[in-house]
Structure 1
């Protein structure tokens, strides 16, 4: 339940247009993530879905019912805010039941819903406490419990984890994802955190400047970005962007690369990339390659699109699971991932293997995808 359709949504504040024709259609029970930098329009879009903001143009459909002219309480939605928005003078019990009381749900039904929600969110022992007696994570669970108690067709989350510490954020991400699987309803979740987007969403809308830059699955967003903005925003550390010259000769296409103090090296391209870059021969383009696609030879995967270069280690950053290696290529800082056991000495050269199977290329002027 909870299918959401947004058709050509526009929003203006005075003369300033902040949403430029947003189109999204979810399947039933999908987890939709709206992700993007601050000021990109994602919270405005969420508020329009909720009925807290009026769209300037376009249609909003929930379960195939147009809801543009309905008040928030009549849209069959429940919203979880960044600030939790709990009533400080009420107990956890009364916070969860508040909406049900206002809707005159019979007491016996209210009590059953309360028991179900409290058990699901492990709030049974907290029902008589006030919000000030709870930790941040407990308050967040109460806010989610209040939303669940409404049994809506659509859940809306506005950066609900931004006030929590790093460890608790990870735990709550897992809890919300588990809830989605249990409740089997559509959720729309706003965040600026691309890790939250990748780990939680079935469908991700990457937004910037009031425009959806790309709408797709986490795998498609990460491995097949539509443009340079999406490629750079999604991923931690970010994708490497390296200016390269496309060359051609003897029936093949290659790139010219140079490390610090090194001679020029030819980087051959897989056939699928060669065909996509033939129109860019003798021009400079931007090579996009993720840190995990540049690694030490000992960790290198088999593949025909594998190329090894010697580069100078400027700095290393151990993370436990791997070691980030900072170096330069074509006078551009880049980051690689190496196995933690690899011996790396700052100021010395090391061999790094480039996996070109998932490399992407962008226009240096407008960031559009070339190949």
Structure 2
């Protein structure tokens, strides 16, 4: 940027000098004539995308145009370059005033030993508020002569219009903020990766630690469904055909005991030769055959139960408790599984106490000191007492 220290004979190139200025995009440039406030009465307006260039040999260069005010329209922005290097981007003001000598560019300190190319690129401009270029001036090297279309004026390089800060701010907009763009991309990628990791930890890691969230029966193993594989006991129902008819009732003299598991015939009530019921239990199967030498009331009572009779049923004595048989469908107990029930149990023996009662219910004293099992009580002393059989 020049601080107006460069002065001398400047060569001026007017906007309509198409021999010196090359308008690359002719369809985006428009010449305006009869402009009283302009140099030589002409200006050239360009819209966005318009480009132009100028070759010169000098140490300083400047571009002058017109800046005006247009309501509700953005001002034009123009980018300038020297030998392909962007040096400045200038935006015209739109502050309610008109400036017919607005300095868009003022650059000095160039190398005078070689030629330079000034590039003009209109970035933003519309037909309502275009970029209006009036002329270009440059400070030639010593001994240079202008062309026929150029004129010479003794002046100094004009100062940039407006403040230097606004010009610098306009220049700073020329380059894209590469660092900010790269940093934003990297930050966005890091945020995406962090979000994906958080989702994985919240969803998949929790599911792996707690096992499968759902249990499918098709993939179940035998150990997973213990309640389903364990055999459950079923109720044991006794059919009516398997229940034996009752052998005792109102018309029976005896109460039938449970049928022995060793006899295939149902229990039979023994016949008595007396009309009165006997107080003694009739012997069954003593091993002497069907003809016994004793009457039912005189037969000796054995202290031991005999199992030799095949036709007599086994009757449990009073006070004994029959062993309940388990249902075949009930689960076996631990003792049965261990084989403890296969050990034969000791036999329980029942003997006659020998105590007899008279008609008044009093015990009859024994006649001698001999065993009560061998005492025979006369038939006349017997009283009509019901049998002492009790159902098992």
More helix by share: 1
More strand by share: 1
Q: Note whether the superposition's TM-score is higher than 0.5.
A: no
Q: Higher Cα Rg: structure 1 or 2? A: 2
TM-score, normalised with respect to structure 1? 0.17
TM-score, normalised with respect to structure 2? 0.16
